[in-house]
Structure 1
Amino acid sequence: MGKIIIENRTYGFDEIKEGNWLENDPYFHQALTFCQLWLKGATVFEMPTSGSTGEPKDIQVNRKQMEISAAATRDFFQIPKGAKMLCCLNIWMVAGKMMLVRAMEWEAELYLVKPSDNPLLELYLEFDFAAMVPLQVSACLENEKTVPVLKKIKHLIIGGAPSSPTLIQNILNSGIRAYQTYGMTETVSHIALAKINREELVYEVLPGVEIGTDQEQRLWIKAPMASHQILQTNDLVKMIDKSHFQWLGRADFTINSGGIKLQPELMEPKIAPAFEAIFGHQHFFLFGKEDERLGQKLVLVIGHEDKDVTKEQLLRNALKNLFNRYHLPKEILYVKEFVKTASGKINRPATFQNSQ
């Protein structure tokens, strides 16, 4: 049987099942309560979706879906029993809960720490498996104390949001072993993984997963861990073969500007090098703003305290070398703070509403 380690306290799965633990902190208490329910054989669990493309909602996920998902990840990475794992995610969301499920299903040794920008600061262990969001990986790479710990993780999966081109390049330069995940709450965590060994990521589906596209090149998924027999997504993809694809962006982020369709998530990686050279490590995204003449016009939203006319002009000049005039932002907006979803993604509509 495996165990969960919280700070300097260790709980065997038998102890957790019997409720022989006392944790007053809400994060640890909730995690162990979920584990207790699982170990006692609960069959249905309620989980919130991330709300990255609409209003968050709660959905019911059954035990069998989660068991299948955990088994597929184990088979993909060939994880042995007794593996040493790290959970540093929000355990109220599906990604965090699935780390708990994997630990129990794999009879693993799970180190449970509260989510933070850099969860490795107080850890000097060699983990077989860990999951992080892009923000955490960036923070670990920026700290010379945690880079060696990050490098020792045998299998690191990154999810919750796409990794930026800068982060991907930093991962390639550092030599860490990492995979970007593709999935959603409805598929109980990821159904595909992309090894970060090149700038353009290619996803490979987990064992038992079938994929295809509709007439608009939107991905559909048929997977044993999904809640529906066939799950239609709003993700635009390029199919490589029956088990590999490249993710292009969200269909519902497409901007129709005077009849010209613009795909922000295809354009943003092209903008990133020029943007960072001028504005530094600030966040930005492209968005469609209602326009009486065009229907929608392309705007660039920047996470910056104040309007910077000089830098703005430098950026406009740089973008003219990258795009034709129809693909250039018609307006640049500024916002002090980006709104994030519970899973760490940028909430574009809410952030846009706060911009000026």
Structure 2
Amino acid sequence: MADLVKVWQKRGGKLLIGEAAHDNTPRLQEATARRTQELQQIANGLLPTVLLTERDSIEFLAGLLAAAAIGAPIVLANPQWVESDWQQVARLVEPNCVWGDCPIVPSSAATNAVRGSVMIPTGGSSGEIRLAMHTWRSLTASVRGFQTYFGQSQINSVCVLPLHHVSGLMQFWRGYVTGGTLAIAPFKSIQAGLRPAVDPATCFLSFVPTQLQRLLDSAIPFRERCAIPFPLRCAIDWLKQFHTVLLGGAPAWPELLDRAQALQIRLAPTYGMTETASQIATLRPDGFLQGRRSCGVVLPHAEIQCDAIEPLQIRARSLCLGYYPNFFPSDAPFVPDDLGYFDALGELHIVGRSSSKIITGGENVFPAEVEAAIWATKLVKDVCVFGLPDRDWGEVVTAACVLANADSSIDRLQQLVSAQLVPFKRPKRWIVLDTLPRNAQGKLNLAQLKTAIFDRQTAS
């Protein structure tokens, strides 16, 4: 059985945790050996399915590598799931081994999970959980496409995203496959001014839009606890040093992108999803700094087809096999809910989601356009536009927003938005809230938002 940690070390790989400058791969190797021994005891001639929900980064990666070494199917799980989420997962899969704290009891029954599969969750917390069935081959295809596109022999990453999510998992796998360094740092630590002991100029950093916004708003100087002699005194100075700051997970608003450009942050907006093992289109930082606002061109391992504004059709070597236990048709493209088009430069633009399109008085309205107009006023800290049923209009454009400060008002918002949008696109209903329900990746839970609005209206 291959010692996967030794393989990574031979390639030059390192694992850094928090601010520590020392390499944690010896600890990872020890933990992986322990987990491998546990699996061998459980297996008893069968290939066990492993459910992995460890909060500790080293224990998580050790479980991942131990299962990978013997080809055991792996189910990644979010430690923050609530009871209803765990119930959904329990109906989908019966793991033989559970690593981490969760209510699912290991089963002794054989499973039909694909050997060497990595099942990555998408959805959850009031939404339907689906397990995207990847393989190490599909994950590696994503790495190779990324590597070719950016022309990097080694991919070093500073990871502030959860490892159970595709956005965090792929940062580890890029480092593993290419012999790069992975520095894991909780985002709250970054906010507090504690930074990993790496040279940012050699690293990729991945954010969701809300994280980037919070860090740009932070005025906390970064503490110098690193041997690398960079005179970085604040978050913005630190961000500007990175080779590339990848941005994805949710649509970014124009004001955020404009601010990042003005600060000369080497941002690379991306398009991708769990099903494609992260990004399949990326805008190069130089293009972003020139003012382009697309998701960039398609990466070498993928193909995207769309004419005008229509649903995307995706083929990719990194595409998952299906949603466990079902497989996608082998000869058909994957069609997500996203609508987009290619511009004259061959760069992808995402307009919105087909399911979120609002039809009001016979006119089509895409929430992203309305949200962009609201963000441009700089009077909100967060916003979501959606349709609500209406007897006269079919649906009415509704904006739920968090006002930026005490000087912001709905009257002023309406005035400024009216100058940017034709009448049928303007929100007819405005709802002011203290916060909008978003997950760790910045994605808004629309069902939860609508429930909160309904409950508030019922109470009043």
Q: Does TM, scored on the shorter chain, surpass 0.5?
A: yes
Q: Which residue of 1 aligns with 2:376?
A: 273
Q: State the distance in 2 between where 1:309 and 1:231 align.
A: 46
More moved, 176-185 vs 127-136: 127-136
Q: State the distance in 2 between where 1:90 and 1:160 align.
A: 12
Q: For each residue in 1:144-203, what CA deviation from the matched residue of structure 2 results, as whole angstroms up to 9, or x when unmatched?
A: 512121111112211111221111011101111110110111111110102323153252
Q: Which residue of 2 aligns with 1:101?
A: 173
Equivalent of residue 161 in structure 1, options 225, 246, 250: 250
8 Å Cα contact 1:301/1:352 also seen in 2: no
Q: State the distance in 1 between where 2:138 and 2:408 align.
A: 53
| 1:277-292 map, 5 Å | 279=379, 281-292=380-391
8 Å Cα contact 1:52/1:345 also seen in 2: no
One-letter code aligned to 1:224? R
1:266 CA displacement:
1.8
| 1:169-248 map, 5 Å | 169-195=258-284, 196-197=288-289, 198=291, 200-213=293-306, 217-227=310-320, 228=328, 229-240=332-343, 243-248=346-351
One-letter code aligned to 1:337? T
Q: Which residue of 2 aligns with 1:334?
A: 432
Q: State the distance in 1 between where 2:235 and 2:34 align.
A: 31
8 Å Cα contact 1:288/1:297 also seen in 2: yes
1:66 CA displacement:
0.1
1:117 CA displacement:
7.8
Q: State the distance in 2 between where 1:315 and 1:146 align.
A: 30
Q: Percent identity?
A: 22
8 Å Cα contact 1:120/1:146 also seen in 2: no
Please state whether the residue corresponding to 2:343 is helix, strand or coil. strand
Name the Cα RMSD after superposition: 3.0
Match status 1:148 vs 2:237: yes
Aligned residues: 349
Equivalent of residue 5 in structure 1, options 12, 16, 27: 16
One-letter code aligned to 2:129? P
Q: Which residue of 1 aligns with 2:56?
A: 27
Given the superposition, is the C-alpha separation of residues 100 and 210 from structure 1 closer, same or farther in structure 2, using an over 3 Å criterion?
same
Q: Which residue of 2 aligns with 1:68?
A: 141
Q: State the distance in 1 between where 2:236 and 2:279 align.
A: 25
Q: State the distance in 2 between where 1:154 and 1:177 align.
A: 7
Q: State the distance in 2 between where 1:14 and 1:37 align.
A: 17
Q: State the distance in 1 between where 2:299 and 2:218 align.
A: 33
TM-score calculated relative to the size of structure 1: 0.87
Q: State the distance in 2 between where 1:284 and 1:77 align.
A: 33
1:27 CA displacement:
3.2
More moved, 125-134 vs 60-69: 125-134
TM-score calculated relative to the size of structure 2: 0.69
1:65 CA displacement:
0.5
8 Å Cα contact 2:308/2:340 also seen in 1: no
Q: Which residue of 1 aligns with 2:186?
A: 114
1:230 CA displacement:
1.2
Larger radius of gyration: 2
One-letter code aligned to 2:198? L
Given the superposition, is the C-alpha separation of residues 315 and 244 from structure 1 closer, same or farther in structure 2, using an over 3 Å criterion?
closer
| 1:250-265 map, 5 Å | 250-265=353-368
| 1:34-53 map, 5 Å | 34-38=64-68, 42=72, 43-50=116-123
- Structure 1 stretches (4+) deviating beyond 6 angstroms? none
